[in-house]
Structure 1
Amino acid sequence: MTPFTEQQIRASLVNATRSERQRMILPDLAQLRWDRLDYLGWRDRKQPLAAYAITEMDGEPVGIILRAPETSSRRAAMCAWCEDVADNSDTSLYVARRGGAPGRKGSTIGTLICTDFRCSRNVRRRPTLAESGADDDGARAVVVERRIEGLRERTRRFLQEVRSTA
């Protein structure tokens, strides 16, 4: 993923008001391993029910504000973005207000996502023999690449759906 600046991230939010953009607390961008991220997701440490997801579409950042669940609402389920079958112990339902007029009228969309946004790490884990079908590095690399592309596509599709005003 291309490293983005604080200004780019704030401007990228398609379902945020000006005040929501200003209140947003970003993670330490200098500490991120951008080359190992397929999207940037985090929970706001000062607003416990606010979370954010930013991805790249056509070379530009596109981001959304998500309503984070309360800590008691975590569940064992598969994340809709990374679809990791080995680690499904901590997912949460995140809800995003749609962009534009539908969002101002209260229209939302939700999905199950890894509670701590660890999807990029999950898709890069070493595939099991059952997943790769062969005990060689080439076959495993193909599985990891397929997972990465799937994560990127599902993330973009969700953010596009939030951005859509139709």
Structure 2
Amino acid sequence: MHTLTDARIRASFVNTSLRERKELSLPDLDAVAWDDIDFLAWRDRKLPNVGYVVAIVDGEPVGVLLRRAEGSVRARPQCSWCEDVHLPNEVVFYVAKRAGKAGRDGNTLGTLVCSAFECSVNARKRPATAYIGFDVEAARQQRVDTLRERVDAFVRRVLGEG
């Protein structure tokens, strides 16, 4: 992912009000390892049930505000983005308002995601060698590519494209 500025991140949000964009708390952008992530995501320091995701869609950043849904699940869910089965972290259900009129009318969509958005790290973990001759690097790259596709698809659904 390429480096983004504060102003570019704030302007990228498609499902927030102008006030929400101004008030959102950004992560320390100087500490972000831009080459090691597939999307920028963080939890709000002031609002623990709010998260933000900025993905590159068609070459442009698109930001989505997510709210953690109330309640809990009975079984340990799997992250729908990284699909890591050996998660060291919690997976939660996040809800996002759709962009534009649909969101203003109350339409939302949800997704199960790693609670602190560790998906980029999870996708880059070394997979187990399945058989002799198994191409570990190709498998890892496939997981990264699939993660990017899933995040892209989610953002496009928020935009009303999918």
- Aligned mates of 2:119, 2:48 — CA distance in 1: 20
Shift of 1:49: 2.1
How many pairs align?
Answer: 161
Query: 2:137 maps to what in 1?
Result: 141
1:11-160 equivalence runs, <5 A: 11-69=11-69, 73=72, 76-87=76-87, 90-130=90-130, 133-134=131-132, 139-160=135-156
Which TM-score applies when normalising by structure 2? Answer: 0.92
Shift of 1:135: 5.8
Question: What TM-score does the superposition give when structure 1 sets the normalisation length?
Answer: 0.90
Determine what percentage of the aligned residue pairs are the same residue: 43
Structure-2 separation of matches of 1:61 and 1:165: 16
Query: Mind listing any 5+ residue stretches in structure 1 that lack a counterpart?
Result: none
Q: Which residue of 1 aligns with 2:5?
A: 5
> Kindly tell me: are residues 105 and 125 of structure 1, through their superposed partners in 2, closer, same or farther at Cα, counting changes over 3 Å?
same
CA offset at residue 73 of structure 1?
3.5
Deviation at 1:87, TM superposition (A): 1.3
Q: Cα–Cα, structure 1 residues 161 and 25, in superposed 2: closer, same or farther, change >3 Å?
A: same
Amino acid in structure 1 at the alignment position of 2:102: P
Amino acid at match of 1:144: R
Residue 69 of structure 1 deviates from its aligned partner by 4.1
CA-CA distance at 1:165 after TM superposition: 7.1
